[in-house]
């Protein structure tokens, strides 16, 4: 039997996206977002949902660029901090000791220590009410050198974090139980 639990956001899993931007004063900022995902293959694009009250919103609107850095487990405390305080009040890179690296292709900084960094230019801005959905066209992806040789195994080897927005938990990637375009063939 099914039970209605009403109208609510309800996708699992969410990514842990650390969005890097520059402020009007040129100061690097990083903030945590869990809502969004891949948006298109060509041009490669992703989405991230940002409340207009956020400092990151202001910064993205100003420079039409941002980065997304994806964290490995050793940085979970830093990620969480990036989601707790506002870059209006504090220099989060300074506080955590992490390194803002100027994007090579876009006017935004990424987190140098995180294993995956995606440089994006804003292609669309979609006002959806509580959140604005930014579509970022990917201009480059950088990964730790040791990971570049095995893109297929990258998520498991770097153990990129997952977010559970109902439990408010950070999760490791789980066990692989099946291969796509394979296990379903039995119904053909």
Q: Residues 18, 68, 106, 111: which binds its own copies (CB under 8 A)?
A: 68
In sequence order, which residues have a C-beta less than 8 Å from that of residue 16 and are 6 or more positions away?
A: 32, 34, 70, 71, 79, 160, 161, 162, 163, 170
Of the pair 24, 97, the CB lying nearest its own copies is at 97
d(CA 107, CA 136): 13
* Interface of this chain with its own copies, residues 150 to 179, rule: CB under 8 A: 151-156, 160-179
* Phi, psi of 91, rounded to the nearest 5 degrees: -90, 100
Question: Considering the complex, what minimum distance in angstroms separates the CB of residue 90 from its own copies?
Answer: 9
Question: Considering the complex, what minimum distance in angstroms separates the CB of residue 25 from its own copies?
Answer: 21
Of the pair 24, 152, the CB lying nearest its own copies is at 152
For the sheet containing 65-70, what is the strand order? 28-33, 17-22, 65-70, 116-127
Question: Considering the complex, what minimum distance in angstroms separates the CB of residue 94 from its own copies?
Answer: 10
* Phi, psi of 47, rounded to the nearest 5 degrees: -120, 150
* Interface of this chain with its own copies, residues 82 to 121, rule: CB under 8 A: 82-85, 95-96, 101, 104, 112, 116-118
Of the pair 8, 24, the CB lying nearest its own copies is at 8
Q: How many residues bind its own copies (CB under 8 A)?
A: 105
* Interface of this chain with its own copies, residues 19 to 48, rule: CB under 8 A: 34-47
Whether the CB-CB separation of 112 and 105 falls below 8 Å is answered with: no
Of the pair 55, 81, the CB lying nearest its own copies is at 81
d(CA 84, CA 103): 24
Q: Residues 30, 49, 60, 108: which binds its own copies (CB under 8 A)?
A: 49
Question: Considering the complex, what minimum distance in angstroms separates the CB of residue 3 from its own copies?
Answer: 4
Entry field: residues in the chain: 188
């Amino acid at each position: 039997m099914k039970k209605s639990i009403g109208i609510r956001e309800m996708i699992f899993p969410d990514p842990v996206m650390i969005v890097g931007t520059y402020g009007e004063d040129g100061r690097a900022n990083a903030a945590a977002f869990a809502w969004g995902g891949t948006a298109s293959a060509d041009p490669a694009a992703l989405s991230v949902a940002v409340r207009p009250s956020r400092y990151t919103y202001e910064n993205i609107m100003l420079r039409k660029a941002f980065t997304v850095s994806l964290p490995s487990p050793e940085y979970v405390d830093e990620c969480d901090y990036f989601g707790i305080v506002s870059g209006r009040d504090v220099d989060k890179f300074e506080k955590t000791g992490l390194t803002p690296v100027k994007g090579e292709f876009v006017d935004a900084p990424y987190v140098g220590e995180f294993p995956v960094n995606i440089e994006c230019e804003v292609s669309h801005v979609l006002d959806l009410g509580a959140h604005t959905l930014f579509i970022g066209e990917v201009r480059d992806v950088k990964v730790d050198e040791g990971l570049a040789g095995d893109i297929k195994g990258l998520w498991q080897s770097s153990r990129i974090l997952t977010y559970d927005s109902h439990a408010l938990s950070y999760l490791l990637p789980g066990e692989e139980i099946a291969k796509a375009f394979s296990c379903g063939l039995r119904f053909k």
